[in-house]
Chain A
Amino acid sequence: MTFDVADLPGRAQELNKAANDAASDTFDPQIGYAPNYVTSDDEVLGIYNDFLDAPAPEDFSWAAEGLLKAMRKLATSGFNANKQGDKPDHPNLEPGNNDLTGVDAAGVEVEDWTGDAADAFFLNYGEKFVPTASNQFCAYYVLRHAVNAEAAVWQTARDDLDKLSKDAIEQMRHVADSNQDDWTNALSVAGAVVAIGGAIPTAGATLSGWAVVGAGVTVASTGMGLAKKEEKKKDPLALANGNPQEIIREVKRALGEIKKEIKSGEEEIKRVVEDAVNTIDGSWKEFCLPRPALADVPRKDIYSPENMGGV
């Protein structure tokens, strides 16, 4: 059964029960409860509340898949459709769309076809069509990776919450053990640091902004360990467990770390997407060719001099 944030309230309940058991196990009628063994039911039961409405990683696959389908139509050459998490030595190769080159080929040989509209079509449209499609492809590429990175952020958060909430219960169940059995909980707080792949396939694309956008850092693999820019694993987060109150404090501390990782991952995703938007805004014409005059010429005017030239 795969863990989901909906499981967290149940885990909080188990944690609370274990905390209450520990308090009553150590209760001494002559001295009362050990102060650090007294926990607040409300506090413990609600400990995971901030995460109950978190997106699920699978919430993004529809969007990523749609973007990939669009990309297939706009690829001016073959590309690797791998997303983060896929094995780099098993590229998922998609072919380019050869249809796109067809736009650059009509009527070049017809000497008489020399009117303004004709020239404009050749020079400003036909020839520029493929590079423009390339720019569009790059934008899709960036967005698809950003969407996958977003899914990865929530995947790693969910993995961390799963481990933390389970570990907390285990610690709490044995917090009052009087044997030499304590242990330090090493929670590895993973996070997603966003990368837009190694390189955006920019062949043919003319917007220099893509190089900036593409110089991101890599989306971490899911699971334990924060993969930083240098692909180093983060040190596990060691949590103390001397008494129930300490365990609760430490769980909150770990939750704080998880929140930080979510935030920093998403900030990077936002930055990358924003850079893409700015790149496009700065050069809209290279992203979407202006309508060629030919598109708006009424039939009767096709062969007027300003359109197709003399015959």
Chain B
Amino acid sequence: MGLTGTELGAEIGNIYKMGKEVLPGVADDYNDAWANTPAAVSGSTSRGGGLGDDPGPKMDALLDKLNKATFDTEDALRDVAQALVWTADDYVFTDQAAKDEFDRKRKKVDE
């Protein structure tokens, strides 16, 4: 048995909130993470005199992965968020109580 009435409206409202607010918030977090992740540290590790065994290039390789993961995740989150907003907005309500509840919830998110 599916949801009806205000419960259904609330759940679609929840999807809207996810798409409008929650996922973009996480996407922002990933953007922060990406922005703070150095592109490279090998500039700092380079040295003369044949000293040591420079770990810079290996660290850069790891940074590449961190940068890619955070960038791609942010990207995906924003696109999913958009899809969820469409999902909520385009849901065809047959139940007036559900629609009213959804509209009410959507309005709260949009404030």
A interface residues with partner B (beta carbon < 8 Å): 49-55, 59-60, 62-63, 66-67, 69-71, 73-74, 97, 99-100, 102-103, 105-107, 109-113, 121, 125, 136, 139-140, 142-143, 146-147, 150, 153, 259, 262-263, 265-267, 269-270, 273-274, 276-277, 280-281, 287-289, 291-292, 294-297, 299, 302-303, 308, 311
Contact = CB atoms under 8 A, between A and B. Distances in A.
Given A100-B26, A147-B41, A288-B69, A53 B47 contact: yes
B79 A103 contact: no
Nearest to A59: B44
Q: In the complex, which of the residues B22, B48, B66, B92 has the most CB atoms of chain A within 10 Å of its own CB atom?
A: B66
A103 B2 contact: no
Interface string B1-24: 111000110011011001100110
Interface string B70-81: 101101110110
A285 to B, nearest CB: 11
Contacts of B33: 69-71, 73-74
Contacts of A49: 49
A308 B22 CA distance: 20
Given A102-B26, A110-B12, A280-B65, A288 B37 contact: no
Bin chain B's interface residue count: 35 or more
Given A110-B12, A299-B86, A102 B22 contact: yes
A287 B47 CA distance: 32
Contacts of A277: 58, 61-62, 65
